[in-house]
Amino acid sequence: CLPPQGRSWVASLDPVKMTDELGHPRRDLRRINPMEPALDDVGMILSVDPPGCMDIDDALSYKALPNGSHLVGVHIADVTHFIPRDSALDREAARRATSVYLQDRRLDMLPRLLCEDLCSLCPGVDRYAVSVIWELDKTGSVVK
């Protein structure tokens, strides 16, 4: 399941190869710059993991829209790119269910190569994520 390139693996920049495991095209969110908004810009993206965290796998995005609505996104590292359904690694991760954080160590659900590197949503590094983006009105109701 792990790529032979190890830590030197890079996400494909080829739009033909930028599909998820079901063949759906991925949306490229790498060009986000809150100082220079583009039409497809989702605004600023912030990690929700604490400082010093080695497995940055969750993020939120926010952008105020000119119509008064808000664009809000939730972004989760896409481990399914590396872990085929029902593989030995998938079954072991399901058995563990989560990473466990103890005072002096961490027991990872996935191999460190995945959770600390290839699936870690670090700034300036191309990574795959599963994202849900909503447009919310002033009251917080979903517009689309």
- pTM to 2 decimals? 0.75
- What is the reported pLDDT for 141? 94
With beta carbons less than 8 A apart as the criterion, state whether 73 and 60 touch: yes
- What's the confidence (pLDDT) of residue 113? 86
Query: Which of the 8 DSSP states describes residue 41?
Result: -
Residue 88: which H helix or E strand, with range?
A: helix 88-96
- Which DSSP letter does residue 26 get? P
Q: pLDDT digit string (tens) for 13-49?
A: 665 566 666 666 777 776 654 444 444 566 678 888 8
* 39: exposed, middle or buried (Cβ count in 10 Å: 0-12, 13-18, 19+): exposed
The rounded average pLDDT for each run of 10 residues, N- to C-terminus, in the chain (144 residues) is: 76 64 68 47 76 83 88 88 86 87 84 86 82 90 90
DSSP 27: P
DSSP state of 112: H
Q: Which amino acid is at 52?
A: G
Query: Which segments of 19-139 are extended strands (E)?
Result: 44-47, 58-64, 70-77, 100-101, 106-107, 129-136
- Amino acid code (one letter) for 60: L
3-state class percentages of the chain: helix first, strand second, coil last, to nearest 5: 15, 25, 60
